[in-house]
């Protein structure tokens, strides 16, 4: 073995700097929670989410409403990291069955293995790499559910990984697709969308107050041959668009406009409103009489769609009862997990007199 081969063989891993390295790929302790429980515990104590993990929100509130009993059939429409899934599986006590869907082929594979290691194999859990708007495919198999959960938030694993392009705080490709194997990226969208369409998109999807300025700056940059292909490039352009904001307020304004702009583009790239509308229309036909559904939303557009659907179907007699007010995470939970602060939980109960079609 020559010197060069020996050097490659014995190359040391990048030092784990401090308790919370900035580079995602250097956070190997956080990315292996089963091996570094002490590190994970310290990060959680600080109210932060370890890289590669997702802390489920409103778990007890959801379980209190769903009232899961052993032997029932349930659906987690948005599997994610599997935190809600494992909590519901515990309630089943190895009796009955839980189905789970996730559009993300990367994370669903990891979660399946994680849950299998906890003792939840195919006897009690079936996972499909499927968008939750396609729940009728389960109905065609004759499956009806006693309880359903849909958590509409983007998982922390997706947000924290710069390769997925979900966060303006980290350098990465401007992707924003939940399924990176299908559809166009946000960067590709920005290469073709008109100024008028982009402004309307920013208003409709995220109530962006500077929609006109941001749309104008993006299209202007494009006409000058500027390609917006990374998250930081888009962040910089949003900053340029907001030069009209007083300097003392600009930093916070740019931060919030970046959040809203990325949200608006993510919703568009993944057709999230269309997907949610389709899911809400199909959902009652997959519920048993008396079946319970809980939906966790994270922005006003989603919440309006869920609220209106539940209200309309209550009036039609499809649901016997719906949440009159949203349920929000407790102050204690928000202090432990800052990503819970925007969550809203709504629920509905299928009428006992409504026949499944």
Q: Dump the DSSP string for 67-104.
A: ---TT-EEEES--TTSHHHHHHHHHHTTSSEEEEE-S-
pLDDT recorded at residue 232: 93
Question: If you search the block for the tokens 């557009």, which residue do you land on?
Answer: 301
pLDDT recorded at residue 166: 75
pTM metric for this prediction: 0.81
Instruction: Judge whether 51 and 81 are in contact, CB under 8 Å.
Output: no
pLDDT recorded at residue 157: 63
14 token code pair: 């990048």
Instruction: Judge whether 341 and 348 are in contact, CB under 8 Å.
Output: no
What does the CA dihedral 137, 142, 146, 147 come to, rounded to 10 degrees? -10
Residue-range domains of the chain with CATH: 3-45 (no CATH), 59-157+273-350 (3.40.50.150), 180-269 (1.10.150.170)
Sign of CA dihedral 114, 120, 123, 129: negative
Blockwise average pLDDT, block size 10, the chain, 357 residues? 49 50 48 50 52 77 97 94 92 96 86 90 93 92 95 75 78 90 93 96 95 97 91 95 95 95 94 96 96 95 95 97 94 87 95 63
pLDDT recorded at residue 208: 96
The tally of CA atoms less than 13 A away on the side-chain side of residue 22 is 3
């Amino acid at each position: 073995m020559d010197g060069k081969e020996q050097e490659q063989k014995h190359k040391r891993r990048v030092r784990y700097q401090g308790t919370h390295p900035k580079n995602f790929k250097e956070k190997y302790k956080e990315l292996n929670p089963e091996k570094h429980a002490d590190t994970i515990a310290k990060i959680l104590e600080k109210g932060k989410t370890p890289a590669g993990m997702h802390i489920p929100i409103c778990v007890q509130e959801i379980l209190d409403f769903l009232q899961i009993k052993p032997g029932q059939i349930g659906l987690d429409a948005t599997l994610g990291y599997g935190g809600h899934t494992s909590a519901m599986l515990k309630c089943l006590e190895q009796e009955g069955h839980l189905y789970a869907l996730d559009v993300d082929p990367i994370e669903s594979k990891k979660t399946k293995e994680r849950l299998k290691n906890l003792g939840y194999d195919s006897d009690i859990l079936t996972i499909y790499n499927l968008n939750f708007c396609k729940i009728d495919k389960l109905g065609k198999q004759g499956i009806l559910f006693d309880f359903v959960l849909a958590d509409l938030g983007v998982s922390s694993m997706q947000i924290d990984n710069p390769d997925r392009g979900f966060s303006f705080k980290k350098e990465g490709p401007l992707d924003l697709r939940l399924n990176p194997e299908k559809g166009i990226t946000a960067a590709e969208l920005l290469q073709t969308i008109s100024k008028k369409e982009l402004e309307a998109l920013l208003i409709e999807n995220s109530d962006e107050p500077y929609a006109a300025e941001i749309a104008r700056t993006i299209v202007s940059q494009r006409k000058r041959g500027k390609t917006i292909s990374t998250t930081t490039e888009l962040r910089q352009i949003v900053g340029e668009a907001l030069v009209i904001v007083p300097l003392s307020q600009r930093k916070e304004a740019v931060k919030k406009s970046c959040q809203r702009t990325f949200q608006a583009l993510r919703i568009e790239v993944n057709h999230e409103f269309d997907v949610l509308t389709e899911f809400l229309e199909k959902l009652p036909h997959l519920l048993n009489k008396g079946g319970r559904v809980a939906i966790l939303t994270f922005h006003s557009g989603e919440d309006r769609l869920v609220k209106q659907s539940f209200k309309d179907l209550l009036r039609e007699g499809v649901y016997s009862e719906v949440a009159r007010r949203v349920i929000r995470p407790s102050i204690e939970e928000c202090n432990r997990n800052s990503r819970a602060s925007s969550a809203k939980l709504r629920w509905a109960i299928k009428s006992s007199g409504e026949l499944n079609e």
